[in-house]
Amino acid sequence: MGTPATRPTPEQLLRQVEAQEEYAQTGRLKVFLGYASGVGKSYQMLDEGRRRRERGQDVVVGAIQPEISPELMKLLAHLEIIPLKMIEGNPVMDVDAILRRHPQVCLVDGLAYDNPYGSRNAHRWQDVEQLLAAGISVITTINLQYVDERRAQVETIRGKRVNVSVPEAFLRSADEIVVVDAPAEFPLARSHEPDAQPNAATQQHKLSQLREIALLLAADVVDRQLESYLERNGATQSWGTQERILVCISPKVNAERMIRRAQLVRDRFHGELFVVYVGEENLSAEDQSALERNLEIARREGIPVELLDAEDTVEEIIGFAHRHGITQIFIGHSLSGSWRARLTKTTVDRLIRAAEGMDVKLFPH
């Protein structure tokens, strides 16, 4: 039998209507994200603008990088350009002119620019927000090094600091994000970095690290897109694209090993980690002490810990997993003490069958 449909509450219906209205009224945001300079973000953005124009869309260029290659000049020849305006001798995207022109799509090359004093907004990404709010779709470009929350991590790889940035939350609001991949054997030196190392293996290792960070950021955007889609369509989200790991603790398990393994998965996929303990009756003093040590390992690592109480361990674990969008469940399989009755083979089988769409990993000891 299927699960009976649940009538949405008035609050849920209101959120759904509001989400649909906001989505209909605002422009779409597409971001070309590069993890190194010179990989071709601007070319891809302008080429998409050209193709959209050929399909009949009203496309303009709102901002372009100062240095234009001959290839970019050929693409720009097919597009309408809104001239930049000067403020205190600095070229700035003319937001007012774009709003008056009100195209369907505006191309904004180089999202990470700060505007001079006297501008409508302090930052170019805020200019883009204004265009989106007016119903104008924006296609833009940014390098990974300019994403605020990723700057320190990228700096340790590149050895170069930047002074301007865009908040990651803005990129997470994108409707689409494209990671522009570097060609094979692409050297960091092509990005005009004086600190680029001549060793080819070192170069490729750095690029691999940067690429991984960019892909994880793109996964965050896709996760947010899924949440927004489900909210607009009144669906309940079970889980997104990120890994969300649930570690089930008991007095007998090797909590340190389980948590360390879960942390590796969480960090590798930029996910989330939870620890739960389903209460047991009549614990011995030894088991109670072991339980506290295991829980303290999680708390020391700053991992959220939930103490649950239920007669049916499997139902409680699965209920928690569904509420938090868990994708992986880590559980210790011990046949000693009270866990003999609670986690026999039959109980484990029940958990695996109930965890539809989730991976269950057993840690025997």
Q: What's the rounded Cα separation, in Å, for the pair 50 and 57?
A: 9
Helix axes 345-354, 313-323, angle to 10 degrees: 30
pLDDT at 107: 97
pLDDT digit string (tens) for 16-49?
Answer: 555 566 656 679 999 999 988 888 899 999 999 9
pLDDT digit string (tens) for 178-227?
Answer: 999 866 556 665 554 544 445 777 777 788 888 888 888 887 777 777 66
Task: Name the residue with higher pLDDT: 162 or 200.
Answer: 162
Mean pLDDT over the full length of the chain: 82
Which residues are bridge partners to 143 per DSSP?
34
For the entire predicted model, the pTM comes to 0.61
The answer, yes or no, to whether residue 340 has pLDDT greater than 50, is no
Q: What's the rounded Cα separation, in Å, for the pair 279 and 312?
A: 10
pLDDT at 189: 53
Structural domains of the chain in order of their starting residue, each with its CATH number: 10-232 (3.40.50.300), 244-364 (3.40.50.620)
Confirm if 252 and 337 have CB atoms less than 8 A apart. Answer: yes
The answer, yes or no, to whether residue 104 has pLDDT greater than 90, is yes
- C-alpha to C-alpha distances, 37 to 33, 97, 171, 188, 290, nearest whole angstrom: 10, 29, 18, 8, 52
